[in-house]
Amino acid sequence: MQDKITQLLAEIQAGSYKALARGITMAENDLDGYEQLLQQLQNTETARVVGITGPPGAGKSTLVNALLHHWITAGKKIAVIAVDPSSPFNYGALLGDRIRMADFYNHPSVYIRSLATRGALGGLHAKIIEITDVVKHAPFDYILVETVGVGQSEVEIAGLADCTVVALVPEAGDEVQTLKAGIMEIADVFVVNKADRDNADTLYRTLRVLAHERSHGEDETPVIKTIATESNGVVALAAAVESYLTTRNNVPEKKLQLLTERCWQIIQHRRMSGYSKAKLLLHLQDAIQSPSFNLYSFANTVVENNR
Ligand SMILES: Nc1nc2c(ncn2[C@@H]2O[C@H](COP(=O)(O)OP(=O)(O)OP(=O)(O)O)[C@@H](O)[C@H]2O)c(=O)[nH]1
Ligand SMILES: [Mg+2]
């Protein structure tokens, strides 16, 4: 087994997409040898993880697609990991006539993997950190991770990504005030997508004010207007991401913070592995039959059993 893992990792490192797919599947499904695989990863690579998050339908996939084109044209190698809650990852509809889908999927510089959401613990795909680390073992320049931002997962992606892009749309204007604390905390770059729509400028100005208020005299979080469907603003977006990655993300404290967040999530997942909300429901169904049922004692028992 050990030899096989070493061989697989060497192939992934050499750029084999077939080997990469196998490695991801191992991590995704806890297949034999996956612990060894993870423990042998040597991510001394230069791949940077760019998270794209935002509400459903904000245009995240369209933005990923546009960034992909931009970076491929610049000679970069890109991996895309999409955590899609509803539909299969469908770039076919987005590519238009610029690159046909077949070309795209076979493009030597692109690797795309779509993951079904597993909300066992809510939020992000439970294995996204592990999977991303496997992908980082391969020779990519950027790894784009698309996730729908629903509460907790937005915070989680911030731990996962070297640069987190939060995409919002003009319709979200009113929500921004309420989302304020959470998104301000995780956004390294803001995107106002669908800038062809009314109220885009209002949202843009609101975000600029928030970014300014929060900056305390340091660099302000950039706000980029885009029309993703027309690749409008994508050069500016790519530049903002690159600039963030080469300057602010390189601060050692920031890196340590990211690592802590990632490690925290791995520990959480490990501790709760083998448990799911579905199992919890069944256990609760039994437990509440007892007249002495107490939610807190019950929760403690669950925690104890998962140690
Ligand atoms: N008018 C306009 N439509 C856009 C723009 N960007 C994306 N769209 C459209 O918005 C819809 C949703 O785009 P997606 O890229 O699938 O959005 P998403 O955020 O990935 O959606 P989910 O993954 O389902 O959360 C599609 O019909 C896009 O064509 C834009 O800049 N302007
Ligand atoms: Mg999408």
* pLDDT for residue 290 is more than 50: yes
Cβ-proximal residues to 275 (8 Å cutoff; 6+ apart), any chain: 120, 302, 306
Residue type, 197: R
| Residue 267 forms part of a structural domain | no
Instruction: Let me know: does 8 contact 23? Beta carbons within 8 Å.
Output: yes
Q: How far is the CA of 221 from the centre of ligand 2 (A)?
A: 24
The pLDDT confidence band at residue 277, using thresholds 50, 70 and 90, is confident
Alpha helix ranges (H) inside 30-126: 34-40, 60-73, 101-106
Tell whether 278 and 235 lie within a shared domain.
no
Tell whether 171 and 292 lie within a shared domain.
no
User: Which stretch of 67-71, 94-98, 179-183, 211-215 has the lowest confidence by average pLDDT?
Assistant: 94-98
Please report the pLDDT score of residue 95 as a whole number: 40
> Structurally, how many domains does the chain consist of?
3
Tell whether 85 and 217 lie within a shared domain.
yes
The pLDDT confidence band at residue 11, using thresholds 50, 70 and 90, is very high
Please report the pLDDT score of residue 146 as a whole number: 87
For residue 218, the SS3 value is: coil
CA distances from 212 to 135, 223, 231 (A): 35, 11, 27
* Residue pLDDT, tens place only, 149-181: 655 555 667 778 889 999 999 886 666 666 656
* pLDDT for residue 289 is more than 90: yes
* Residue pLDDT, tens place only, 77-134: 999 988 764 444 444 344 433 333 444 566 789 998 877 665 444 446 778 888 999 9
Backbone angles phi, psi at 10, to 5 degrees: -65, -40
Q: How far is the CA of 75 from the centre of ligand 2 (A)?
A: 24
More confident residue, 159 or 204: 204
For residue 209, the SS3 value is: helix
User: Which stretch of 141-155, 183-197, 283-297 has the lowest confidence by average pLDDT?
Assistant: 141-155
Tell whether 8 and 112 lie within a shared domain.
no
* Residue pLDDT, tens place only, 241-274: 999 998 876 667 777 877 888 888 788 777 777 7
**Burial, 270: exposed, middle or buried (Cβ in 10 Å; 0-12, 13-18, 19+)?**
exposed
User: Which stretch of 135-144, 181-190, 227-236 has the lowest confidence by average pLDDT?
Assistant: 181-190
Tell whether 31 and 163 lie within a shared domain.
no
67 in contact with ligand 1, CB cutoff 6 A: no
Ligand 1 atom closest to the CA of 56, numbered from 1: 25
CA distances from 228 to 137, 145, 290 (A): 30, 17, 56
92 in contact with ligand 1, CB cutoff 6 A: no
Q: Which domain holds residue 297?
A: 274-305
| Residue 288 forms part of a structural domain | yes
Mean pLDDT of the chain: 82
Tell whether 232 and 93 lie within a shared domain.
yes
Identify the DSSP state of 76: -
How far apart, in whole angstroms, are the C-alpha atoms of residue 213 and residue 205? 12
Tell whether 283 and 195 lie within a shared domain.
no
Tell whether 50 and 148 lie within a shared domain.
yes
Nearest bound ligand to the CA of residue 63? 1
Return the H-helix or E-strand segment holding 241.
helix 234-246
Q: How many Cβ atoms from other residues are within 10 Å of residue 228's Cβ?
A: 26
How far apart, in whole angstroms, are the C-alpha atoms of residue 262 and residue 130? 10
Tell whether 13 and 110 lie within a shared domain.
no
